[in-house]
């Protein structure tokens, strides 16, 4: 992978918030066995965390709060931290993060998880001790993208694993293209929401960064996956046009008949196709009553 990896903190925050259960299962598998569909997973806003801290600069990337139904188990917090550059990682700072989170949530059940995008060695344990006793022993779960080979996860049913394929270890152009194809296949198979499909198609391309030659090769070798990307982008553009047409029609109605009258038809307008929206907009020019705008001939 490229040695000059950009800072992907924000993209990972979105990934964990959008797919919290899948993120826990993939990045913290040892602790994920009891985190099933019955639990509530609540992302904790950074601003809320900062308000409870004396030091404003301590803010976790994405803390998650796990609650079991009927209080059958004590709540559990996952303290996710993403490090684009391993050399910036500070285990002492992570200890502070976790103790702050423990204090805020009034629980000692905190699982620290660090996601490293490189495979450089990092300290994985911190102990504070005297001659007789150890007074603090701290360790954390971690996932190093550069230490995982993408082919191990090409068929994974976990969408987080599939989207992270381009971040994993690959060697040479052919494997890079295959990693992108696997990520797009996963997005197509595992994510039905069109908005998230667009969002994470962009996530894949932010991380894979194909040049023009690689893009041409990808189109030749992976036409089905290229069609997935093209379809996602095309649908997004179509939805953008529809939003524009709908917004224009609502504005025209508000100007001619008043905003309250226009709002009564907002839901109907938002569900209409492009041709219908254009016909209604044209009707607005001659209609004497707002009802006449939506009258269909025949």
Residues 11 and 127 in one domain: yes
147, 165, 191 - which closes a domain: 147
Residue 182 in any domain: the answer is no
Residues 143 and 259 in one domain: no
Residue 249 in any domain: the answer is yes
Residue 7 in any domain: the answer is yes
Residues 19 and 131 in one domain: yes
Domain range for 28 is: 1-147
pLDDT at residue number 235:
66
Residue 236 in any domain: the answer is no
User: pLDDT in tens for each of the 298 residues of the chain?
Assistant: 444 445 566 788 889 989 999 999 999 988 888 888 888 888 886 544 444 444 444 444 688 999 888 776 788 889 888 887 778 889 999 999 899 889 888 889 999 999 988 888 889 999 999 999 999 999 999 999 989 999 999 999 999 999 999 999 999 999 999 999 999 999 999 998 888 888 898 899 888 889 999 999 999 999 998 888 887 767 666 666 677 778 888 888 888 888 888 888 888 888 888 788 888 888 888 888 899 888 764 3
Residue 192 in any domain: the answer is no
147, 169, 202 - which closes a domain: 147
pLDDT at residue number 241:
66
Residue 154 in any domain: the answer is no
pLDDT at residue number 1:
42
147, 171, 198 - which closes a domain: 147
pLDDT at residue number 296:
65
Residue 178 in any domain: the answer is no
Q: What is the pTM of this model?
A: 0.73
Residues 115 and 253 in one domain: no
pLDDT at residue number 263:
87
pLDDT at residue number 285:
81
Residues 123 and 255 in one domain: no
Q: Give how many domains the chain has, as a whole number.
A: 2
Burial group, residue 138, by CB count within 10 angstroms (0-12, 13-18, 19+): middle
Residue 175 in any domain: the answer is no
């Amino acid at each position: 992978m490229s040695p000059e990896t950009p800072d992907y903190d924000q993209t990972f925050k979105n990934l964990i918030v959008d797919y919290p259960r899948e993120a826990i299962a993939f990045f913290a598998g040892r602790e994920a066995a009891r985190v099933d569909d019955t639990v509530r997973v609540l992302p904790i806003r950074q601003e809320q965390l900062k308000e409870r801290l004396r030091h404003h600069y301590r803010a976790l990337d994405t803390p998650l709060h796990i609650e079991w139904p009927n209080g059958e188990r004590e709540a559990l917090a996952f303290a996710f931290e993403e490090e684009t550059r391993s050399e910036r990682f500070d285990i002492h700072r992570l200890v502070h993060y976790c103790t702050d989170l423990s204090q805020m949530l009034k629980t000692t059940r905190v699982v620290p998880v660090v996601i490293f995008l490189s495979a450089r060695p990092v300290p994985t344990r911190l102990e504070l001790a005297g001659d007789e006793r150890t007074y603090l022993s701290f360790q954390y779960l971690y996932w190093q993208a550069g230490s995982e080979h993408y082919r191990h996860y090409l068929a994974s049913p976990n969408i987080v694993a599939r989207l992270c394929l381009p971040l994993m270890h690959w060697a040479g152009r052919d494997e890079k293209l295959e990693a992108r194809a696997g990520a797009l296949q996963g997005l197509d198979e595992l994510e039905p929401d069109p908005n998230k499909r667009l969002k994470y198609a962009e996530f894949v391309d932010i991380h894979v960064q194909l040049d023009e030659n690689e893009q041409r090769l990808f189109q030749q070798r992976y036409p089905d996956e290229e069609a997935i990307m093209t379809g996602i982008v095309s649908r997004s553009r179509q939805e953008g046009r529809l939003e524009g047409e709908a917004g224009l029609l609502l504005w025209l109605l508000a100007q001619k008949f008043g905003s309250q009258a226009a709002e009564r038809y907002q839901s109907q307008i938002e569900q209409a196709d492009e041709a219908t929206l254009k016909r209604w907009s044209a009707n607005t020019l001659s209609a004497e009553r707002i009802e006449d705008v939506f009258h269909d001939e025949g």
